[in-house]
Structure formats: structure tokens, C-alpha cells
Structure 1
Amino acid sequence: MQPQESGVHYSRWDDSSRDEVSMAAVSSTEESSCRRIFQKLCTGKLGVAMKVLGGIALFWVIFILGYVTGYYVHKCK
């Protein structure tokens, strides 16, 4: 494997007041594991299913927290 180089190069011109900064994209041959997991779970049909299931789970968590909170707030003494 070759060492990765920084993609930012800075050069200053002596005869002018303008500075030049150039950024080059560093290409990697392998995607990171986080990126592969994101691509698998968050796109396509599986991504839609994960978002729907996440929404349903979030709804039930908020519902249960509200129910428990309401029970203790409105409990008769």
C-alpha cells in the first residue's frame, strides 16, 4: 500500500498579493467500512425499510414516555 498524501497544496506568489490554494481529491481504492455499511443500510429498498422501522420504533418510544409521564403528572393523590 502506498502512503496517502495530503490533498491540500498552498503556494504564495512573491510578485503578487494573491495567494493560491488548491485542493486535490485523494482517491482511495477501498471504501471505508462505515461507508459500505451506510450504502447498504440507508439506500435502496432496505434503506426505506430501515427508515420505516426506525420511525415506528421512535413513535412507540415517544408514546410510552408520554404515557408514563402523563400517568405520574395526573395521578390522583
Structure 2
Amino acid sequence: MQPQESSVQYSRWDDRSRDEVHVAAGSSAEAPWSWERISRKLCSGKLGIAMKVLGGVAVFWAIFILGYLTGYYVHKCK
């Protein structure tokens, strides 16, 4: 197991009434396939546009089929 790299950043504001300390783990602590990375990849650029178009087409057909089946059973002759 490798030791985790971390950095500590300390900043003091000019009025000296607020102090901040930031502790951040190194890049090795992050998972290479985090949800943010996946959503950025799938929701931006040409791939994002293609995913939105395919999602819209899938929703259209799902609503169309649901409406067709509902209309068929509502207006079925007895």
C-alpha cells in the first residue's frame, strides 16, 4: 500500500479575522472513474449531444407505445 500524498494550504485574509486551512488529498486518492468524470464525458461535446438525441428518441417511442396501448384498450370494442 502506498502512502497517500496530501497538501495543506493556509491562507490568511487581510483583515486578520478569518483564517482558512485547506487540506486536499493527492490525485492518487481519487478514483479514476468517478461519477463526475463519467457525467462530464457523457453530457458534453459530441457524445453528449448524441446521448441527448438518443434519450429523446427513446422517450418519444416509449410515450408513443404507451399511448397506443392505452388508446387500444380504452377504445376496444366489446
The alignment's TM-score, normalised by the length of structure 1, stands at 0.62
Aligned 1:28-39 pairs, distance under 5 A: 29=27, 30=30, 33-39=34-40
Considering Cα pairs closer than 8 Å and 6+ residues apart, tell me whether 1 or 2 has the greater RCO: 2
Q: What residue number does 2:11 align with?
A: none
Instruction: Look up the equivalent residue of 2:63 and give its one-letter code.
Output: I
Identity within the alignment, %: 64
Structure 2 portions without partners, runs of 5+: 7-18
2:41 is the alignment partner of 1:40: yes
Structure with higher strand content = 2
Across the aligned residues of Structure 1 and Structure 2, the Cα RMSD in angstroms comes to: 2.9
Q: What residue number does 1:54 align with?
A: 55
Whole-Å Cα distance in 1 between the matches of residues 68 and 21 of structure 2? 54
- The size of the alignment, in residue pairs, is 60
2:72 is the alignment partner of 1:71: yes
The alignment's TM-score, normalised by the length of structure 2, stands at 0.62
